[in-house]
């Protein structure tokens, strides 16, 4: 593996207002961040309510669903993630929004930024830059550095892309999806998922930017 699997017995942090939300030094993190126009707010709000209802029906009412996820059994958490991750990924792969990252010159800005500090601030694994979102696997040895780096990636690439396409305003949705990889089996699954993403979205060569970590 690129790094270690998440160890629930070791120290880790969960921050509702920070991004990525889950962090553990040395653990492989899978992160998806997307363009601001890729999923309408109305769809996000509907999913949030569906997630809340899903947990309430299974005996976990009250707090907001991200906090409730910490309290439910692992098997139920896996079921929850499978259900709602599929909804999000299917929607993203339908390529809503203006899809500026379909232009290889624009996607290269993101790819080059992800690789810029590879080996010094982090270890970059597999990633793919899709027309309206990015998937990546990465390892940080410091939780604070991880969160600062994601802010840096988004700020730098948004600035450069807006200059290139002569636009203003928010380019990325600020709140990414993140997940600490639980096992070598899940790590292999996510690598395959990243590699297969263009096929699922019916993209042609040159309409995405893929990087595979050396085996």
pTM of full prediction above 0.85: no
Q: Is the dihedral of CA 152, 156, 158, 159 positive or negative?
A: positive
My answer on whether 52 and 91 are in the same domain is yes
Whole-number percent of the chain with pLDDT over 90: 57
My answer on whether 108 and 152 are in the same domain is yes
pLDDT score of 45 more than 80 = yes
pLDDT tens, position by position, 151-209: 899 999 999 999 999 999 999 987 778 888 989 999 999 999 999 999 989 999 999 99
Query: Domains in the chain: how many in total?
Result: 2
- Bridge-partner residues for 35, per DSSP? 172
Asked whether the beta carbons of 171 and 20 are under 8 A apart, the reply is no
Task: Single out the residue in 77, 95, 113 at which a domain terminates.
Answer: 95
My answer on whether 120 and 199 are in the same domain is yes
Q: Is the dihedral of CA 18, 198, 107, 48 positive or negative?
A: negative
Residues 6+ apart with CB under 8 A from 179: 22, 29, 30, 31, 81
Phi–psi pair at 126, nearest 5 degrees: -70, 145
In the structure, what pLDDT confidence band is assigned to residue 87 with cuts at 50, 70 and 90? confident
pLDDT tens, position by position, 90-110: 888 888 999 999 999 999 999
Range of the domain at 123: 1-38+99-215
In the structure, what pLDDT confidence band is assigned to residue 17 with cuts at 50, 70 and 90? low
Asked whether the beta carbons of 132 and 38 are under 8 A apart, the reply is yes
């Amino acid at each position: 593996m690129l790094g270690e699997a998440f160890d629930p017995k070791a120290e880790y942090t969960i921050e509702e207002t920070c991004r990525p939300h889950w962090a553990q030094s040395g653990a492989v993190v899978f992160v998806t961040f997307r363009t601001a126009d890729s999923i309408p707010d109305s769809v996000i709000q509907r999913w949030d309510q569906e997630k809340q209802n899903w947990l309430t029906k299974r005996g976990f009412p009250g707090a907001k669903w991200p906090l409730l996820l910490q309290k439910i059994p692992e098997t139920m958490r896996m079921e929850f993630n499978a259900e709602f991750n599929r909804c999000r990924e299917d929607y993203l792969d339908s390529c809503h929004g203006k899809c500026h990252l379909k232009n290889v010159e624009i996607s290269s800005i993101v790819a080059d930024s992800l690789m810029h500090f590879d080996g010094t601030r982090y270890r970059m694994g597999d990633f793919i830059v899709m027309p309206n979102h990015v998937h990546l696997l990465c390892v940080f040895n410091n939780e604070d550095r991880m969160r600062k780096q994601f802010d840096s990636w988004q700020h730098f690439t948004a600035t450069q892309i807006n200059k290139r396409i002569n636009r203003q305003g928010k380019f990325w949705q600020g709140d990414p999806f993140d997940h600490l990889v639980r096992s070598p089996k899940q790590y292999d699954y996510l690598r395959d998922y990243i590699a297969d993403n263009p096929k699922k979205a019916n993209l042609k060569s040159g309409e995405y930017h893929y990087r595979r970590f050396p085996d």
